Each structure stands twice: as structure tokens, then as C-alpha cells.
Structure 1
Amino acid sequence: MRIVVHGQQAFGKAVLERLLERGEDVVAVCCAPTKEGKPEDPLVEFAREKGLPVHQPASWKTPEALELMKSFNADICMMAYVLLFVPEEVRDAPTYGTFQYHPSLCPMHRGPSSINWPIAMGSTMTGLSIFWPDDGLDEGPIMLQKTCEIGPDETLGDVYFKKLFPMGVDAMIEGLELVKAGVIIKHDQRLEDGSYESWFGKDAATIDWSKPAQEVYNIIRAANPAPGARATIKDTEVQIYDSALLEGDGTPGEVVSATDEGITMQADGGRILIKRLRPVGGDKQPAGAWYQG
């Protein structure tokens, strides 16, 4: 089966690595253009090392892009972490079309920050979807889904790198096997309630210490390692990373203590031990040492 891999970054590279390990016939690799002054995408570097043709069109909405996809004479296109919009006629150019990975249980948490939001909302479960994209935003019939737990202290980094990343690579290969077997399963996700959420950015990651401590802790976990939860401590705006939820009452927003272990901040009905932070514009560092300094 002739395969086009369309993706970027470490996830796209991992999918390509798995396909080559299996001896699959990868006929082309597509990736977003490299931005001036930025390092080459890991997927592009790896594909070139393996002697594979790499294509990086600035847009897939042009006649030239459509002809490019047709020229591959591919059976299937596998989208592994794609941010550029790909129109229907391009997606349908391969014999069996195009399927895609998304790190949430679609139709819930569609959008660019699909891992952050369930953590911030206090969910204990998330997952991934392999689906047939249409022209909507992370919409289309679902091929398969996998679930995983969100531990009470797990961060964005924990959930993605330890769970959704390796599960996702396996699921992409499982999807390919279903296509090869002719078992193309499509469930219409529009029959269920769903949500589209925009970027989990600065506003969403800004801490209000008057909120319940569990909510504050969820935001910090959801923003670690990116974009970093934001708060003002000692009249300095900082980004908060590693932390822990503690018991204790007091006035929300006050610094309860500062030790070598970290800074303990009071929220509503509980406390947050901040272990690592970064003053905006500075470097990540132990929170206690920064405060005492």
C-alpha cells in the first residue's frame, strides 16, 4: 500500500519511524514550511535522512497542491499532527482518502489545545481519536478511539508524552491495518454533543487565587509545560510549573511560606506548593530559591 505521511514535529517523525520499521511503502512526506530562522522540523530531517521525498507547500488550497497529492498515486494519506487546512479534494486524492490523529475523544475538546482543556476542567479521563477529517474544525467520521486516565497530579506533559503520544502512534498503525483489511469504520461524531475550544493561552492560564484550590491546581497542571500558568508574586509576574496541592486555610492570594521546597500560596479552601517557576522573561528555577533571593 502506497502511503503519504503528512505531519510535523516529534509525533509525525514517530509515525514515520514506525512505518519504515514495518517496511511500509512511504512514497512521500509532507510538512508545513520551515519558518525563517527556525530549526528544521524533526519529521523533515528524518525523512531526508531516509532518502524520502519531502514536500512543504505553503498552502494546500491551490491547484498545484492538488496536483502534487495526485502525483503521489497514493492509496492512503496519514495525517499525524497537521495544523495546515487540507481541503476535501486533496484529502480524497488517495484511493482510500485520508485519516487523522487528534488527541481528544472527539467530538469533545476539538481545537488546538485539546489536551490542556480536560485537565483544566478537572476531567479524570481523556483519549485520542483517529478520524476521517472533513472541512470542519477537527470534525469528521471517527474510525477508532482510545481512552486513558488523567491522574490527580498529572500535568499536560505527563498526559501527552507518557500516554497520548505512544498510544497515538499505535492507533495510527491500527488505523492503517483497518484500511488494509477493508474494515473502514466511520461513526458520525455529529450525533453527539461536542465542543470546540480555542488555544489554552495566557488568559486561560492566569491564576485567580480566590478560586477553589483544586481549580487552581488543575490550571497549573494543564499549563505545564506550556504555556505555563501565570500569577503575580512579590509584584513580579511569574509562570508556574511543578506544583502540589496541599490542605490549609487562610486568606486567598497570601504567601503562606517560602522554603527550600518552594513557595506555598493560599487559595480558597486549600494551598498550592509552587516548586518551580519562571519570572516572565527569565529562566525556570526553583521557586523557593527565587523567592528568598
Structure 2
Amino acid sequence: MKLVFAGTPEVAVPALDALIASGRHEVAAVVTRPDAPAGRGRRLVASPVAERAAEAGIEVLKPARPRDPEFLARLAEIAPDCCPVVAYGALLPKAALDIPAHGWVNLHFSLLPAWRGAAPVQHAVMAGDEMTGASTFRIEEGLDTGPVFGVLTEQVRPTDTSGDLLTRLAFAGAGLLAATMDGIEDGTLRAEPQPADGVTMAPKITVDDACVDWTAPALRADRVVRGCTPAPGAWTVFRGERLKLIQLGLAPERTDLAPGDLAPAKNSVHVGTGSHAVELLWVQPQGKKPMKGADWARGVRIAPGERLG
């Protein structure tokens, strides 16, 4: 089939690579978000998908909005059979959805109808899910509501950050998306409606969502830190400044600390939660590099009675 691939971040690149390497399909163009400012100089930088497509000699389309007439005209001119999508990052209008004969097929990193929305992996980790996965589905005008072609499952490991889990899903999901394109082409794959039960939503995680509540149980604090790593980054407050939390360790044997209370030792620093303590394994103070929690504690010289939050 002739394909136009839509995607933007690094997590979409494995799927693009899988389609290029499949040998069965022609990736005629890619659609990605416009170049965005990045780095200290805030210079405009192409998305990872745009860079990979350019390397492969594939036409790159960067509409400011997918409803722009120029973009719709070029898409109709290319006349793709199907448009596979991974983390494109913009809502597609009906005028665009109607162009390919087999529609737009999204690779979504959850077991639909669970975790519909922008941040399924982060929400799965923060909710303590033991199992998640990826789904391919036909895009409709609703939010991740379309019929599903295929799924794969992936265990959520106890130490997984959202970054760890998303990396595994990106590579496994690339194979699922390529297989979905194969099945659509040869007519062996049929999309099935999503069940009405089990719907959960996964809106974008905000900076406020990433603030650790020390009155919550230790498991909740750990899940927030893992779910918000690498982005947007979990945090708390110490001496009026934000302290980024990169990794915690559970310390169920220690129940003597009130929520937020700090207990530094020679080679560790613990903080109280609503259940038992956690150890600050890795943190990042404002304007500094990540460091071990014990090194941070020695550097700031925590006084008796000082706390987080």
C-alpha cells in the first residue's frame, strides 16, 4: 500500500523504521508537527520523525494545522491508501480522515478502551497497573474511540518509569503497526468495535500533577515519581525551591517519620509519607545536575525539623 505516516517524537521513529523496512509498503510522505524551538539558543529544530524521513529521502509535510487547505490538497494529490499514525500530536479533521481509502490507523500505547488520551503510559504507571500494552485502531472524530485492529500486551515492571515502558512499547508496537498494515492490505484483518465497559481517560500530565503529596501512601509517591519520569518530572519543595525527584526506594521497615519529615544519615536520606518512609535515591536541585539523595542531603546540611513539601 501507499502510506503517509504521521508522527512527531522519538517514540514514533521505530514504527516509521518498521514500515520503511517492511518491503510491502511505500511510505510516500510523512506528516509531522512544525519545527519547534529547542535548546538554550531556542533555535528551530525539526522533529525526530522529520529528521528520520529526511534521512530516508521521504517527503516531509509540516502543516501548522491539519485542516490547512494546502496540506489537504497535497495529501489528496499523494492519494495514500492508508495513513498510519504514532503520537502525531494534532487533531485530524474529517476532511483529512476521508482522504485515504483505508483511513488513518493509530498505534496507541494502551489496551483500549483503557487509558484513552494523550498520556496512557504515564497514567498506567501512576495507577499501578500490572499489565498494559498497545492497540492499533481506526481513527474517528472521537478521542481514541475507533474500532481496534490488533493488540499486544506488556507487563509493567515494579521499577518501570514511564520512559522505560514507553521505549519497550514503541519497539513492540512498531511490529504491531506493520502487521496491521499487512492485514489491511491483504484483507485478513477486520477492525472490531471497542467494548463499552472499561473506559478510562489519560489526559496530559501537568506539572501540578507531578507534585508528590507526602501525605499519600509510599506506593503512591513511588508511582508518581516513576510515572512522571522523564516528563514532566516529579518534584517537591525544599526551602522554598523545587527539588526534582528522579528515583525513590521503598523503606517499609521505617514508620517513625511524619509525612514530609526528613531523616538524613551517612549514606542515605529518608522522607516520611502517609504510610512508611521512602528513600531519596536520586534527586536534582534547581540549576544542578542529578545527584544521589545522600550527596544532596550532605550538601544542603539538613537541619532538625526541616521537611519536604
Compute the TM-score of the two structures, normalised by the length of structure 1: 0.93
Give, as a single letter, the amino acid of the residue that structure 1 aligns with 2:8.
Q
Q: Percent identity?
A: 25
Which structure 2 residues correspond to residues 209-288 of structure 1 after superposition, within 5 A? Answer: 209-247=214-252, 248-250=254-256, 251-260=258-267, 262-288=268-294
Please tell me whether the aligned partners of residues 255 and 265 of structure 1 are also in contact (alpha carbons under 8 angstroms): yes
Please tell me whether the aligned partners of residues 15 and 171 of structure 2 are also in contact (alpha carbons under 8 angstroms): no
Give, as a single letter, the amino acid of the residue that structure 2 aligns with 1:203.
D
Which structure 2 residues correspond to residues 121-200 of structure 1 after superposition, within 5 A? Answer: 121-161=127-167, 163-189=168-194, 191-200=196-205
Cα shift at 1:47: 1.3
- Unpaired stretches in structure 1, ≥5 consecutive residues: none
Cα shift at 1:103: 0.9
SS at match of 2:92: coil
Whole-Å separation in 2 of the counterparts to 1:20 and 1:122 = 35
Whole-Å separation in 1 of the counterparts to 2:74 and 2:195 = 31
CA 1:259/1:183 → structure 2, altered by over 3 Å: closer, same or farther?
farther
1:95 counterpart = 2:101: yes
CA 1:126/1:253 → structure 2, altered by over 3 Å: closer, same or farther?
same
Whole-Å separation in 2 of the counterparts to 1:192 and 1:259 = 51
Whole-Å separation in 1 of the counterparts to 2:55 and 2:213 = 48
Cα shift at 1:118: 1.6
- Unpaired stretches in structure 2, ≥5 consecutive residues: 38-42, 300-309
Cα shift at 1:183: 2.6
Whole-Å separation in 2 of the counterparts to 1:121 and 1:280 = 28
CA 1:259/1:108 → structure 2, altered by over 3 Å: closer, same or farther?
farther
Whole-Å separation in 2 of the counterparts to 1:280 and 1:167 = 36
SS at match of 1:128: strand
Please tell me whether the aligned partners of residues 251 and 277 of structure 2 are also in contact (alpha carbons under 8 angstroms): yes
1:3 maps to what in 2? 3
CA 1:155/1:135 → structure 2, altered by over 3 Å: closer, same or farther?
same
Cα shift at 1:286: 2.1
Cα shift at 1:190: 5.5
Cα shift at 1:70: 1.0
Give, as a single letter, the amino acid of the residue that structure 1 aligns with 2:73.
E
Compute the TM-score of the two structures, normalised by the length of structure 2: 0.88
SS at match of 2:45: coil
Whole-Å separation in 2 of the counterparts to 1:106 and 1:112 = 13
Which structure 2 residues correspond to residues 78-93 of structure 1 after superposition, within 5 A? Answer: 78-93=84-99
1:21 counterpart = 2:26: no
SS at match of 1:275: strand
Please tell me whether the aligned partners of residues 34 and 46 of structure 2 are also in contact (alpha carbons under 8 angstroms): no
CA 1:158/1:259 → structure 2, altered by over 3 Å: closer, same or farther?
farther
Cα shift at 1:57: 0.9
Instruction: Pick which of 108-117 and 184-193 moved more.
Output: 184-193
Whole-Å separation in 2 of the counterparts to 1:82 and 1:216 = 31
